A and B are shown apart, each in its own frame.
Chain A
């Protein structure tokens, strides 16, 4: 790993990270505030039978299977919601796929690799930066949850001890996606293919998980999605499955292994 490259990458990304972190924190706060303001009323509406049970089941499935009208359910919904997924993907997909291919396309990889840094060290540094950015972004969302829960007086409804595991589960999901992005990035001379591959994996994964949630016959396809292994409701209820973490870590390890083999062996022809 190269400290100067890590510091440079941090400086290059810090404003973007700040914006994403604030957005995620606000989003995390919003769901808790909504729950605190309307959660009990909504539960009463549900229990009155005004909303069809099928619709209620669907909403619970979409939120990861938990009780959407509990604080834990609201937090779980926030973790799998497209808004938070898209925000964290700014780094998992955007940074991951651009880290090498973007430099290559701009021609600056040439200048970087003219220094006495091995390609593996460059990769390790960028991977460390990816983990750092994802970890901070996800943490910001959970900090937002904590602040809003304390401010609205509902924090007693949440088992705070489960939050670190939820953070780890979410971080591992996006690090797995980011590792795929980095693997695509080291394999490509241009940003567009690397970004396209990573975006495709992410979107297909998200759609597979969504389809499996809303369509019982499609449940069998869920295990093929990385998103299937993010189970915030189970984690927040203390029933998280360590296998989920292992699967996500496994995806990341395979992608990292691929990149560490492919990147040093690649020919980097003169930029055109």
Chain B
């Protein structure tokens, strides 16, 4: 049985109130569990509460209500010990511009009293040469800064890595290298908590995903089961009359025009394939379900829930 790396229980963060302006519920009653050894995606648009959650986990913020534990330690009471065992990449990381890349990595490791068993390997995989590391950080491009950010978060081989928008600024080749690093970490039993709004990234590397909206959890599922429940888009081009697909389980949104049939398909594809067997098909396209569709669907559902409530209130 897998252990829990991160657990939040009704975690809530409220800003403002009184003289500090209107109350804002940045995070509302968040309860999630991240298992040890998994890559967990934390999805949501800007302002959804992703960074607030991370900052609560690391002790930058104090919860208004609820609790969080990381690696079995209380996030509020044991923050220093938690940070000893965690690697953190802040979103849009700021670095000490007056240091060289090498000096910066050494300084950040020394601050934590950490050995850096993974630094050389990470620099190699992210193509940070000795020459590059010898240059001042102020001369680095955005992508190079992000690479340094990734190395500083992982160089001490932490049990848990908390990465806020980690692939931001990386080119496609470096993104691929980065995903390889994450997969190797997972294979080594490490846990990755990754916040992102790059859906293809989450779909590709995460085992499970939580979707947050306006501070609330709207979905928490395996990527595989999330995608399995999403609708695939199907397009059929026919040379003659097509079969009747209206009663096929999982088929919806059926439209037929000029020998071209479009539909949405969810669930088991078997009944659909059986129904079209023998039809005069010229071309058949089944687009795989994408996390983006699932994500947008969740947001559409959440909007629909909010709108009637707003109308009722007004």
Contact = CB atoms under 8 A, between A and B. Distances in A.
Q: Say whether A and B bind each other.
A: yes
A68 B151 CA distance: 61
13 contacts: A5-B111, A8-B107, A12-B98, A106-B94, A108-B94, A110-B90, A111-B95, A113-B60, A116-B84, A117-B83, A117-B112, A268-B55, A269-B55
Interface string B276-304: 00000000000000000000000000000
Interface residues of A, number: 23
Contacts of A8: 107, 111
Contacts of A47: none
Given A4-B110, A5-B111, A117-B111, A111 B152 contact: yes
Contacts of A111: 90, 93-95, 108, 152
Contacts of A268: 55, 60-61
Contacts of B113: 4, 116
A8 B111 CA distance: 9
Contacts of A270: 51-52, 55, 91
Interface in B33-67: 51-52, 55, 58-62
B92 A107 contact: yes
Nearest to A105: B94
B61 A4 contact: no
B81 A116 contact: yes
Contact of B90 (A2, A5, A114, A115): A114
A267 B60 contact: yes
A108 B108 CA distance: 11
A115 B61 contact: no
Contacts of A117: 80, 83, 111-112
B60 A4 contact: no
B52 to A, nearest CB: 8
Contact of A115 (B15, B60, B95, B112): B112
A2 B62 contact: no
A164 interface: no
A53 interface: no
A112 interface: yes
